[in-house]
Amino acid sequence: MDMSQIKDTAKQDVDVAVSVRGVSKNYGDVEALKDLSLDFPRGELTSLLGPSGCGKTTLLKIIAGLLEPTSGQVEVNGKTVTGPGPNRAFVFQDFALLPWATVLRNVAFGLELRGVAKSERESIAEKYIKDVGLAGFENSYPHELSGGMRQRVGLARALSVDAKVLLLDEPFSAVDEQTRRKFQEDLLALVKNENKTFIFVTHSIEEAVYVSDQIAILLPRPSRVSEIIRPSGFRDKPVDQIRRDREYLDIVDKIWASLRNYVE
């Protein structure tokens, strides 16, 4: 087995976009995160993978500035996070679309909150609606769309504010398998073309290995990073070659081997 390309620790001299330093989070008596540290290299996609309830959403919301850590801190571009900011955009697991607003207004909503003029924000939104493949649905309402289409609206909204860090909380869990695979390929293209830092939460081992430059495995509560895996061999291969790549399969097995102890 050729595992030489898998490195268990992050590279030393990488450009770090987001850095989590000794973060703990308690909900009353529940210790969700305990002294968790993790670096997210700029321009790469890092997956957070771990059993249900281990604190992935909690970590993402702390990075987003929506939750305050009990102790420790998060730095984005060297600046300590004190709240939400324009350098980060969140894609919600349940889409979080305004049901009373059209696709166009939903996608432009992030810009609307930032005070961008109506004509300008709508032309930006139209571009991203096209990019995610929803051209022609600008004036539809969320309840007229399928789950996959709604998720694209959420993605377009996050992209249109042009934040350098994208936080995605299980964005593909509400869509069917075919759509999911299509989204995964789109995500790979996005990472390649957009030069943004992606932080991606998922339940699926295969998905994490397929899309990630770096995978952080979290253990159950109180959660910390147990392992960091950096697939390197197949990232530049065509997307339809990845799933039969040797290294891909090895990493999937390896992750399963270390997680299976925690699944009863």
Partner 1 sequence: MKLFGYKLPAMSSLLLWGLLWEIIGQMDVTFFVPPLSEVFVTLFSIIGTPAFTKALSETAYAFSSGVVISILIGIPVGILMGTSRLVDEILLPWVNMFLSAPLTALVPVLMVLFGFGMKSIIITTVLFAIWIIVLNSRAGVMQINRSLVEMAKSFGANKMDAFTKIYFWAALPEILGGVRIGIIRAVKGVIIGQLLISIVGFGALFELYSANFLMAHFWAVLIVLFALAFCISEILAYLERRVAYYAAKR
Ligand X SMILES: Nc1ncnc2c1ncn2[C@@H]1O[C@H](COP(=O)(O)OP(=O)(O)OP(=O)(O)O)[C@@H](O)[C@H]1O
Asked whether 38 and 56 are in contact (CB, 8 A), the reply is: no
**Binders in 223-262 for ligand X, by CB under 6 A:** none
Q: Identify residues 17-76 at the interface with ligand X (CB under 6 A).
A: 27, 30, 32, 52-58
CA nearest to 61, candidates 145, 180, 169, 144: 169
| Separation CA 199–CA 6 (nearest Å) | 20
Give the nearer residue to partner 1 in terms of CB position, either 36 or 153: 153
**Contact with Mg ion (CB under 5 A) among 18, 33, 36, 57:** 57
Query: If binding is defined by CB under 6 A, does position 135 make contact with ligand X?
Result: no
Select 29 or 240, whichever has its Cβ closest to ligand X. 29
Q: Where are the beta strands (DSSP E) in 140-254?
A: 165-169, 197-202, 214-218, 225-229
CB-facing half-sphere around the CA of 96: CA atoms within 13 A? 15
Candidates 57-65, 99-107, 159-167, 219-227 — which segment interacts with Mg ion by CB under 5 A? 57-65
What's the closest the beta carbon of residue 88 comes to ligand X, in angstroms? Answer: 17
- Contact between residue 6 and residue 245 where contact means Cβ atoms under 8 Å apart: no
The number of residues that bind ligand X (CB under 6 A) is: 12
Positions in the binding site for ligand X (CB under 6 A): 27, 30, 32, 52-58, 203, 221
